[in-house]
Amino acid sequence: EKLAVTARVAPLDSGRLVLVLVEDRTESRRIDAVRRDFVANVSHELKTPVGALSLLAEAVVGASDDPDAVRHFARSMHREAGRLADLVQELIDLSRLQGHDPLAAATPVDVDEVVVEAIDRCSLAAGAKGIVVVSGGQDGLQVIGDEGQLVMAVRNLVDNAISYSPPHTRVAVGVRRLDGLVEISVTDQGIGIPEGDLERIFERFYRVDPARSRETGGTGLGLSIVKHIAQNHGGEVVVWSVEGSGSTFTVRLPRAPGSGEEALDDGFDD
Ligand code: ADP
Task: Give the per-residue pLDDT at 156.
Answer: 97
Task: Give the per-residue pLDDT at 269.
Answer: 52
Measured in Å, how far apart are the chain's first and last C-alpha atoms? 50
More confident residue, 162 or 257: 162
Of 16-20, 60-64, 179-183, which range is least confident?
Answer: 16-20
Please give the Cα distance from 84 to 224 (Å, whole number): 18
**CA-based Rg of the chain, rounded to a whole angstrom?**
24
Under a CB-based contact definition with an 8 Å cutoff, are residues 123 and 155 in contact?
A: no
Task: Give the per-residue pLDDT at 239.
Answer: 97
pTM of the model: 0.84
Q: What angle do helix axes 147-163 and 111-121 make, rounded to 10 degrees?
A: 50
Mutating to test ligand 1, I would choose from 156, 160, 198, 240 the residue with most ligand atoms within 8 A of its C-beta, which is 160
If you measure from the C-alpha of residue 217 to the centroid of ligand 1, how many angstroms do you get, rounded to a whole number?
11
If you measure from the C-alpha of residue 59 to the centroid of ligand 1, how many angstroms do you get, rounded to a whole number?
32
Say if residue 37's pLDDT is above 90.
Answer: no
Please give the Cα distance from 210 to 55 (Å, whole number): 21
User: Which of 221, 210, 224, 227 is CA-nearest to residue 89?
Assistant: 221
Q: How far is CA 49 from CA 12, 137, 141, 222, in A?
A: 63, 41, 42, 18
Task: Give the per-residue pLDDT at 263.
Answer: 53
In ligand 1, which atom is closest to the CA atom of 161?
A: 23
Please give the Cα distance from 189 to 245 (Å, whole number): 6
Hey, how many other C-beta atoms are within 10 angstroms of the C-beta on 126? 18
Task: Give the per-residue pLDDT at 213.
Answer: 73
Please give the Cα distance from 34 to 123 (Å, whole number): 36
Residues in the chain: 270
Mean pLDDT of 143-149: 96
Under a CB-based contact definition with an 8 Å cutoff, are residues 237 and 227 in contact?
A: yes
pLDDT, tens digit, for every residue of 193-219?
999 999 999 999 999 988 777 777 788
Q: How far is CA 246 from CA 65, 123, 126, 215, in A?
A: 48, 20, 16, 19
In ligand 1, which atom is closest to the CA atom of 207?
A: 14
Task: Give the per-residue pLDDT at 29.
Answer: 82
pLDDT, tens digit, for every residue of 72-94?
999 999 999 999 999 999 999 99
Average pLDDT for the chain: 90
For residue 219, give the 3-state DSSP assignment. coil
Say if residue 12's pLDDT is above 90.
Answer: no
Say if residue 265's pLDDT is above 70.
Answer: no
Q: Whose CA is nearest to atom 4 of ligand 1?
A: 218
Q: How sure is the predictor about 100, in pLDDT bands with cuts at 50, 70 and 90?
A: confident
Pocket of ligand 1 (CB under 6 A): 160-161, 164, 188, 190-193, 201, 206-209, 213, 218-224, 247
User: Which of 160, 140, 154 is CA-nearest to residue 230?
Assistant: 154
